[in-house]
Every structure is written in C-alpha cells, then in structure tokens.
Amino acid sequence: MSLSGMLGMLTSPLSAVSGIPFLGRADGGTFWLPVRAAEGAKAVDELFYFIFWICLFFFTLLMALMVIFAIRYRRREEGEEVEKTPSHNLPLEIVWTTIPILLVVAIFFFGFQAYLDMSTPPTDAYEIQVTGQKWKWSFTYPNGYMDELLHVPAGRPVTLVMTSEDVIHSMSIPAFRIKNDVVPGRYRKVWFTANRPGAYDLYCAEYCGTQHSGMISTVIVHEAEDFDVWIADHGDILGSVSPAEGGERLYNLLGCKQCHSTDGAPGVGPTFLDLYGTMRKIRDQADCECDEDYVRESVLDPTARISQGFEPVMPTFKGRLKDKEITAIIAYMKTLSVHAPDEPAADEAAGEAAETDTTETDAGDGGE
Amino acid sequence: MSDSQSSSHVDSAAHAANPNLQHHFDSMEQQYESGKLGMWLFLVTEILLFGGLFCAYAVYRHNHPEIFTYAHQFLDKSLGGFNTIVLIVSSLTMAMAVRAAQLGQRRLLTTCLALTLACAFLFLGVKFVEYEHKWKHGLLWGKNYEVQGEMAGATEALMIPAAPSQSGSAADVDPNATILPRAARAPEGLAAEVGDHGDGVADAADDHATHGLEPKNVHLFFGIYFVMTGLHGIHVLAGIGVITWLLIRSLRGDFGPDYFAPVDFTGLYWHVVDLIWIFLFPLLYLID
Amino acid sequence: MSTNDTPMTPAVVPENYLNCSSGFRSWFFTLDHKRIGVMYLASILAMFLIGGIMALMIRTELLTQGQTIMSSDDYNKVFTLHGAVMIFLFIIPGIPAALGNFVLPLMLGAKDVALPRLNLASYHLYVVGALVCVLSIVLGGVDTGWTFYAPYSTTTNTHVSILTLGAFILGFSSVFTGLNFIVTIHRMRPAGMGWFDMPLMLWALYATAIIQVLATPVLGITLLLLIVERVMGIGIFDPALGGDPVLYQHFFWFYSHPAVYIMILPAMGIISEIISVFSRKHIFGYRAIAYSSIAIAAFSFLVWGHHMFTSGQSELMNMIFSALTFSVSIPSAVKMFNWITTMYKGSIRLDTPMIYALCFMFLFGIGGLTGLFLGSLATDVHLHDTYFVVAHFHYVMFGGTVIAFLAGLHYWWPKMFGRMYDEKLGRISAIIITVGFNITFIAQFIMGSRGMPRRYYDYVDEFSLLHFISSMGSYVMAIGFFMVAGYLVKSLVSGPRAHANPWGSAALEWQTQSPPVHFNFDDDPEVCNPYDYSRVQYDAASGGYVRVPSEVKPA
C-alpha cells in the first residue's frame, strides 16, 4: 500500500480546485514546501500533506467544539443551575485513545517507509566527496576536481560522502528534502536523484559558529549530458590557466581565505600580502625565510614551524594537495608579495619546485 | 504506596514532648518516614549520576576494548583491592553505628563513627598514593598522557610478547620474562593493532614496534578512570564531612532511640558510596 | 466543621504570611514554602525579563537581512543565552518551583512541604546558579547554543564552562524541589485524601517531580563531563582525541527531552484545575488525566533519540525512537479531549485564567500536532534543524507552558497576594499575547517547512517578508507582556482585596483566607472532592464563594 495512492484518492477532488496554495504548482513547490527537485522528495511531500490534513481536521474539530462550548454554555449569572452530566465515560476514553493510536501508527508507518527509501543508496551512485569546515563546503569529484558549488547530473543517483574538518555541520538541501549531519572523524552518506535542472540552496543546518549562516552553497543540477561536458572541462583545475591563477583558485576553494587575507588584514594566520620572501620569526626555533620550502612545509606539516604571534591551528593538507597545486599556491603568493623575485626568476623557481616535486611524488607513489 | 499519614491535627503534646519534631509534622514517625523517603530518592539521583559515567564506560569499552585491556595493567590491583576492603570495613562500622544509635549506646556509636572516619581517610590516603604514582609517570588523560620513566620501560616489556602471539610464534618468547608477567598476554584488539604495522612485528624489541603495539587513544581509559574515581573521591570527601558532623553531635549526646535519623540517613549514603566503589573496582582494575 | 471564608475587605488586613514578619532575613532565610514560592516567582520573572529582552534582540536583528543591530558573534551569544536563560532559569523552575511551591502544601491541607530546609536550599542553589549564569553573560557570553553540542562547545573560546557550571548548580536546585514534592505528596496527604482524591495539579507535579529526580542527574554528569573536557581536555567528546561527539548528544537529550515534560506536565495540571473551576463542572475523565500524566512521565525517558534522526543513528534506532515518540502523543491528546468534554454543558466563566486556558488549548494543540511532522522520520529529515522545529517547540513551551504559567499566575494571584487585578486588562492582554505569538511563530512554521535553517544570523531573500512579519509579531507580544506587568504591579499596590475563594474552586487551598496565614490554615480544612462544586456556593454579600455545610445539600 503506498501513501501516494491513498493520498491520490484523498486529494483528487481537492486537486480540481486550482488556485488553492496548498495544492501545488508545476515545480512541485507549494505554500508550505519549497520547489521539488529530487525523486525522493515526492514521498516526503505526500506524507507532509497527509499529516497536515489529519492535523487540520482534528484541530478544527477540537477548536470548534471549544469555542462553541465557551459561547453556548457561558455563565449568565452566578449561582445558576448546572446540569449534572457524567464525569467519566470509559467507552468514550477508549474510543478517543484508539483513534489517535491508529492514526499515528499510520503516520509512523509511512514515515518509516519513506525514510528507508531515502537512507538506502543504490550501489551504482555517482560519488562525490564532501568536506565541511568552518564555514564552507567543498566538493571533490571522482576525477579530483574540487569546487565550492555542488554540481550534479539530473536523473542519476548521487551519493555524497561527507566528513568534517572541525565541528559538526549538517548538509541540508531543502529542494531535495534531504539532510544529514557531517561529523568530524566519521564518514556519513546521503544520496538523492535530482530530477529538475536548476540551482537550489544548500545550507549548513547544524550550528557551527560565527559564519554558520554564511555556510550556504548552491546545488546546480545539470542535464545529464551537460554534466558530462562540465566535469570534463573542470577535470583539471590547473589545466588551462597560469600557475598563479590556478593558485588563486585553490586559495579560494580550499578555504585558505578564512584565515589568510590577501589585503594585509589581520587574521587567524599571517596575511599573504607581502609575506613571501620575508624573514619569519619562528616560535621556539631559528628564524627562517618564507621561501618555497617553508610554504610547502607549512602546507603539509603546519605545526612544524609556527610564526610568532600565531597559534598552531591550521589543518594539514597532506594527501589533499598535489605538489603541482602547492607550487601553484606559491606562485600565487609571489604575485602578492613585493619581496618576491622578479617575474622570470619566479617562473624559474616555480619550474624548479615543480621538478623536485615530481620526483617526490614519484617516491611517494612508490611507497604506497 | 503509602497511605495518608497525617491527621492534620496539631498534636501539641507530641511537639512539646520532642524538640526534634518539626512544626509541620504530626509525629516523629511521619518525620522519620519523610526523611527516609527523601534520602532514598537522593540516593537514586546519586546512582543515576554515576549511571551516566557507567554508560560512558560501557560505550567506550565496547568500541575500544583494546584500550581497556591494555591500560588497566597500569593500575595497581593490590592497592585497589586493599581500598575495597577498607571501604567494606567502613560500611560495617557505619552499620554498627546506626545500630548503636538506635539502641542508645553512646560510646559504641562514637567509636564506630570514629572508625568509619578513619577508614575513609585511609581510603583517600591510598587513593592519593595511586594518583601520585600515575601523575609521576604521565598516566593521565587527554593530551597529558605521556608515559615516562620506568613506566615507559614497562610498556615496552609488556608489549614484547604481544608480537609473537600475533605472528603465531609465542613459544619463542617466555611471557614470564617480563616485569608484569600475567598481564602481558596481548588482547585481540591489540593483536589487530599489531597486524596493521606489518614488518615491525618481526623485531619486537624495536622501538617502532613498541609504539605500534600500544593501542591508539589509551588516554581515554585514564580520562574515564580519573573522572570516575575522582567523582567517587569527592563523594568520600563529602561523607567525611557529614560523618565528622555526626561525630561531634554524638559526642554532644544528641542521638538516642527516639532520634537517630541523621545517623541512619548518613549510613545509607555511606553504603551507596561503598557500593559504587564495589562496581568501580572490578570495572577498572580487574579487566582481564 | 468551620467555614474559613472571611467576609471580604475588612478595614485592617488580617495577619498573613506576608505581613507576619518583615526584613530581608525573614524572607531570604524563611522556611515557609509560600515565601520561598514568592521569592522563586520574583526570581524567575526577573529571568523571564532578561530572556524576553534577548528574544526581542533576536527578532530585531532578523528584522532585515544582513546586520541590523549586532554582529553575528553577538547574535550567536544572544540566542544561546535566550535559550539557556529561558529553559534553565525560567521555564523549568517556573511552574513547579514558583507556583507549585506555593500551592502544593495548601492543596494537601498541610502546613509546609515535608523538607522545608531542603526547599530553602533549593532556592539558594537557584540564586547561586542564576548568578553564575549571569556571570558568564557579564564576562562576554557563550556562543554554543543552549544545547552545548560537542565538539563546538569544547573548542570555542567563550565562557562555556561557567554557563554549564551554572546549569549544573541549577540541576541540584531542580532535583531538590522534585524530591521534596515526591516526599510531600507521599507523606503529607491528610487523612481522607487518597491518591485519586488529589487535585490533578498534584498528579501533574508528582509526575514532574519523578522526571526531575530521574533525569536531572544525567544532565549533571553530562555538564560535568563537558566542564572536565574543557578544563582538563579529557577527550571523551573530542573526536580529535578519539572521543565521540554523538555520545554527548545522547547524554544531553536523555535529560533534555524529559525536561520538556518537566515544563509541560505542570502546565497541564494547571489547565486541568482551571477548566474545571471556570466551567463549574467536575473534571471529565479524572483517572484518564491522572494516568496520562504518569504515562507521559514514563514515555518521556524513551524518546530522546528523536532529536538525533539526522545525527547518524542506525535506521533501526531511528525507527524505534520514532515509534516511541508517537506513543507519547497519545496521553497528551487524551488530556485535550477530556478538557474540552469538561466544558460540555458547564457554566463557563470567561475570566482571565480561563481565557489563558482556552488560549493554551489552541496553542498547545498546534504545538502538539506539529510534533507529528517531526516524529515521522521522512518529514523530520526535511524539517530537522529548521524554523519549523523552532516554531514547534515555541508553541509547546511558550504556547503551552508559559501561557499555562500565566493562567496559573492569574488564577492563584488573589491567593498569593490577597489582591485582585484589573480583569478587563487581563483578558485583553491575554488576547494580545496570543495573537502576537501566532503572528511570530506561524511565520516561522512556513519558513521552516520551506527550508530556513535555525540559528541563522542572516537569510536569503526568499524569507525576508516572513522574517519581517515574525519580528512584528514579537513586538505585539511584548506589548501584551508590558500590559500584564503593569496591571499586576498596580494590583499589588492598590488592587481590591481578594475574597478567600473568588473563583469558586472546591480545592483545599481556597479554604484558607487570602493570603493564607503563616501556617496555612487556622483550622483544619475539610477534605473533600476537589471537583465537587455542589458545596461551593456564590455569596453575593461577600462577592465570592463560600462552602455550605454538608447537611444543607442543594436539592
């Protein structure tokens, strides 16, 4: 027995009446519920309105009785006679205990049924890695491309494999009617099959601090064939741009900007403005120049050498960044610093770094 | 449950006869019963307070059995056992104190209370020795967990036989050769941990292997250990305060057959404190 | 048997618990449950003011998109403290410790609660706990949300430890009150009053007290662990140290869900009293209502997991908790049916307490029914952590508990202070509060079901209008509350003297004068069915109700 079948019988006469906001628009949205853009959402909406009509019926009934009694039996004068009526009635109590029980059993059953469907991902789903951190989302596609927006194909099941870098977040996409907490130290999954191309809001629903309300992103649902083109185009973030431009993209994507400003504003970490090429005072250790090696070390092992005046709070990017990408970030930092060597030299250095990195990468691969 | 106790009549004679009868009660019996019910309910809240900790313990032991098997070996069973006996004895003297108060045996009451108090101090003294030992060796909670000094050696010795037991050549190493003989058998969880470290197992004496053998997050055990025994210790301290107060009052001669409720209620409290320790001891010290 | 009803308005106020002694010490160290109740009342109302101002600050900030009056960090602190103050300092002690303390011994015809010193200790702990909480505000506040979820709460650098310490102390206060009530109801009932002869308010307080005693210690240990975690870094809830942050949620909700029933059960008790008295009808289904209170108390311990449907419990756990959650809705529904049936063929007087009681049924009806959306798994996933949840629990806690608290306050006000308030203003402000409340929170239901997450400092364009409406509603509500404060203060100063029994209740607390004497009753009250109004007759001469002697039963 499906709820939609029952509901169809229930609401078909009502659906004929157009213009009532409860009864839906072409995009699946209604007065109470937002646009519907995923396949599983329909079951949720039907259940929502199933409960809604039940509640409305009983609430109206009770309130009507209450108001009628309050008016009809209003005291006209003190000391008036009160008709004696029974003060208890067991059959009545049983009836009005049983009816709600039956109703809530039905609600429970449909709720559980729909929930099971939405919590069992198909095995062939397209998998996207999601990382939540204060206060941004990042989505990593199977080919290694990383983006702040969630791009998904329509008509194909997608599983999000989610984890958090810091505190608990929660992945909420109202248009898909899904939500799941993103817990540090664990991997959580949520899946959906989008069916309506367009752009929808994606929120963090678990309170996570200062910019909790800014932890909003967008889901972009592409037509299936458009998605394939899009993902092929974006497979390689550094592909068609200069290292410095690629570095800037990474800077935005990885959340570096949460702590490292580029305009000299103070932050949790040192600003990138005029940072490269300066001498850094290191806590408990000898001073050193902020050169390629130091930046590289800071990205892979952030607590090794902490600049004075800062706390060791940066997460490591070991395993998340390729050497080429670190090099790109260094190239970007050079463009921000007056202390960096002139352009040709910078390119040379970048080239050099890239070379060393390649070897190291090879060594790393061999080790695995 | 209870039937109505009070005839709401002010029994002024009863109030005149016993100055310990509070104005809103009709009889000493009603007052005593009320106090007793209150005390039992309070003890229920105490059990629930510790219940939360026992739940945390159960969850962590279920999820990480290897931590518990590994870390409990750092606790001194003989000191823990001694303390258990001390508390059981104190429970006995407390029960005798209640009896003495009911029978109006004032000297016996004072003696029993003093003995109970002495046991409580002895318990805390032993606890202090245990804590100090752990403090010195860095067997602490969270980031403070840092095995030092001879304990580091003990860790190594402890873990050496674990490796062969995993690789199937236990016969090569005599477990009795280690400092803490019985305890040295590696638990399953540990063995799994060892397995992760592959080649290191071959050379068990190697430093790397030793580090690999210690399960991750051993500090969690000590976190739980210190919270549970610490909270229990605070309850013992509170008990010391109350028993001291009782001792002073008993010296003053306040208690007798018609007024012994404070001794009785403190006795209940003390038994619960004892009971909690009786659960803590095997859960923390006797894990194998 | 005597009738204690003194003719109203004698020239001199007779001696009573308010004027029998004076001075700070005679109040702050009193063992008299009535004075402790009044002190509790004053304290919780002060806290309600603080929490209310914070609510207005929240709504004002959300009036427009982006920054309106404060930064996001300040906003986070304000909503945290709004929640913490309202829950720990206002609603939980609100009805039991303030109103309950005052009426419970009176309803039993007793001279005091069983353990008066513990009662005073409970109040002193409340004061200390409140001061510690206020200290955390003065030092700069806390930004975790009142739920203190780890690992956010273990890593933020605001004053979480102090606020949780305050809540920990308040927990003891709450346990002591509950423990005292259980003992009092067991041991102090007068001869002739069996369990099923008690007013339903006592059943409600008894069920509440059971939850207080059984659930609060778990909150205590949870907050203690959180403090230890922050101060010593013990790692139990910290994933970075191998701890489990979801375990914290289990611990927290094991208390905090039953806590919801600590709030709502005594509210239901008040409504049971008022509906019956003002309808002049024996309460319908006495046993059903009494048993449902106990059933709610029992079920309340089994449903905490419904706060964690999206936290990563197994599907099986979610299913079990969802089913159990629905089970708790049944006793509440049964109460509603019985209350409305009580009104049938009554003689209904629409005084302020009754207006509040009717508003309660309207608002609690919505609050309870919207719970069905949240108990159902599939819809909860969509609605969880949205404004729908915010609106739902405000309908239950405000529309339920606070409205019932106001109903009870207006109902027992004449007994507490011996003075009447302006009836007309009372009714008008009740309506204003209810209307303002509905404007505020219906808008939030719509926002929530459309996806607006809670605890958001800012919002997308789509929600601008609804947030604006919601904020306007909150101002309407504030106007209503200032009216209430105004006429109640005026009543204290110059209100007309109250009759011993102005509403015509048959319960024992109305058999003594208003306000009662120091030891509650001059003569022993006559124990009788608290819902039998045949013996309570209107006396036009005194303007109130008097008991008629038992042999003169009306024909």
pLDDT attached to residue A354: 44
Closest approach of C337 to chain A, Cα-based (Å): 8
How sure is the predictor about A275, in pLDDT bands with cuts at 50, 70 and 90? confident
Q: Which helix (H) or strand (E) holds B88?
A: helix B77-103
- Report how far residue B172's alpha carbon sits from residue B44's, in angstroms, rounded to the nearest whole number: 53
How sure is the predictor about C442, in pLDDT bands with cuts at 50, 70 and 90? very high
| Residue A201 shares a structural domain with residue A248 | no
Tell me which amino acid residue C368 is: G
Tell me which chains share at least 3 CB pairs under 8 Å with chain A. C
> Is residue C462 in a domain?
yes
Nearest to C118, CA basis, from C33, C200, C57: C33
Q: Which two tokens stand for residue B280?
A: 């803590």
Q: Which two tokens stand for residue C57?
A: 């600050």
CATH 1.20.120.80 occupies which residues in chain B? 28-141+218-285
CB C302 within 8 A of CB C326: no
> Is residue A356 in a domain?
yes
Question: Is pLDDT at B238 greater than 50 in this prediction?
Answer: yes
Tell me: ipTM over 0.85: yes
Q: Do B142 and C241 touch (CB under 8 A)?
A: yes
> Is residue A343 in a domain?
yes
What pLDDT, in 10s, does the model give residues A351-365? 444 444 443 434 333
Question: Is pLDDT at A235 greater than 70 in this prediction?
Answer: no
Is the Cβ of C245 closer than 8 Å to some Cβ of chain B?
Answer: no
pTM: 0.82
CB A36 within 8 A of CB A28: yes
Q: What mean pLDDT comes out for the span C322-336?
A: 92
Domain of residue A98 covers: 3-9+18-71+92-119
Judging by beta carbons within 10 Å of its beta carbon (0-12, 13-18, 19+), is residue C548 exposed, middle or buried?
Answer: middle
pLDDT attached to residue A346: 45
pLDDT attached to residue B14: 67
> Is residue C15 in a domain?
no
Q: Do B38 and C115 touch (CB under 8 A)?
A: yes
CB C104 within 8 A of CB C184: yes
pLDDT attached to residue B77: 86
Is the Cβ of C182 closer than 8 Å to some Cβ of chain B?
Answer: yes
Is the Cβ of C460 closer than 8 Å to some Cβ of chain A?
Answer: yes
Q: Which two tokens stand for residue B143?
A: 């980031």
Q: Do B41 and C183 touch (CB under 8 A)?
A: yes
CB B33 within 8 A of CB C187: yes
Closest approach of C277 to chain B, Cα-based (Å): 25
pLDDT attached to residue B89: 94
What pLDDT, in 10s, does the model give residues C139-167? 988 888 898 888 888 888 888 899 999 99
CA distances from A46 to A24, A53, A192, B209 (A): 11, 11, 17, 59
The residue to which tokens 């509210």 are assigned? C267
CA distances from C527 to C257, C463, C514 (A): 37, 57, 19
Q: What mean pLDDT comes out for the span C484-495?
A: 93
> Is residue C299 in a domain?
yes
Indicate the number of domains in chain C.
1
Question: Is chain B touching chain C, with at least 3 CB–CB pairs below 8 Å?
Answer: yes
pLDDT attached to residue A10: 47
Superfamily of domain B28-141+218-285: Cytochrome c oxidase, subunit III, four-helix bundle (1.20.120.80)
Q: Which two tokens stand for residue C60?
A: 């004002």
CA distances from C277 to B30, C503, C529 (A): 33, 7, 13
Task: Specify the CATH number for the domain of residue C38.
Answer: 1.20.210.10
Interface test with B, best of C186, C216, C249 (most B CBs within 10 A): C186
Q: Do A70 and C156 touch (CB under 8 A)?
A: no
Is the Cβ of C190 closer than 8 Å to some Cβ of chain B?
Answer: yes
pLDDT attached to residue B141: 77
Q: What HEC string does B57-83 produce?
A: HHHHHHHCHHHHHHHHHHCCHHHHHHH
Indicate the number of domains in chain A.
3
> Is residue C490 in a domain?
yes
CB A191 within 8 A of CB A207: no
Among A241-250, B106-115, C1-10, C468-477, name the one with the lowest average pLDDT: C1-10
CA distances from C49 to C38, C54, C262 (A): 17, 9, 21
> Is residue A86 in a domain?
no
Question: Is pLDDT at A166 greater than 70 in this prediction?
Answer: yes
How sure is the predictor about C238, in pLDDT bands with cuts at 50, 70 and 90? confident
pLDDT attached to residue C4: 44
Interface test with C, best of A52, A88, A201 (most C CBs within 10 A): A88
Q: Do B34 and C182 touch (CB under 8 A)?
A: no
| Residue A226 shares a structural domain with residue A207 | yes
Q: Do A183 and C145 touch (CB under 8 A)?
A: no
CA distances from B30 to A277, C7, C115 (A): 84, 36, 12
Task: Specify the CATH number for the domain of residue A134.
Answer: 2.60.40.420
- DSSP 8-state secondary structure symbol assigned to residue C111: S
- Report how far residue C17's alpha carbon sits from residue C35's, in angstroms, rounded to the nearest whole number: 8
> Is residue C10 in a domain?
no
Q: What mean pLDDT comes out for the span C517-523?
A: 87
Among A165-174, B58-67, B242-251, name the one with the lowest average pLDDT: B58-67
What pLDDT, in 10s, does the model give residues A41-94? 888 999 999 999 999 999 999 999 999 999 999 988 887 888 888 888 899 999
Is the Cβ of B189 closer than 8 Å to some Cβ of chain C?
Answer: no
Q: Give the β-pairing of A126-133 and A136-140.
A: antiparallel
> Is residue C6 in a domain?
no
Interface test with A, best of C64, C77, C152 (most A CBs within 10 A): C152
Task: Write out chain A residues lying below 8 Å of C533, CB-based.
Answer: 82
CA distances from C9 to A182, B6, C519 (A): 66, 33, 21
Is the Cβ of B104 closer than 8 Å to some Cβ of chain C?
Answer: no
pLDDT attached to residue B92: 94
Residue of C nearest to A49 (CA): C373
Among A248-257, B169-178, C422-431, name the one with the lowest average pLDDT: B169-178
Closest approach of C276 to chain B, Cα-based (Å): 25
Residue of C nearest to B35 (CA): C115
- Report how far residue C246's alpha carbon sits from residue C23's, in angstroms, rounded to the nearest whole number: 50
> Is residue A194 in a domain?
yes
- Report how far residue C444's alpha carbon sits from residue C388's, in angstroms, rounded to the nearest whole number: 6
Residue of A nearest to C308 (CA): A181
| Residue A273 shares a structural domain with residue A327 | yes
Average confidence score pLDDT of chain C: 90
Tell me which amino acid residue C231 is: V
Chain pair B-C, CB pairs under 8 angstroms: 145
pLDDT attached to residue A353: 45
Nearest-by-Cβ selection for B41 from C213, C235, C521 = C213
What pLDDT, in 10s, does the model give residues C187-236? 989 888 899 999 999 999 999 999 999 989 988 999 998 898 888 888 88
How sure is the predictor about B231, in pLDDT bands with cuts at 50, 70 and 90? very high
Q: What mean pLDDT comes out for the span A295-321?
A: 83
Tell me which amino acid residue C290 is: A
Which residues of C, range 289-318, sit inside 8 Å of B by Cβ? Answer: none
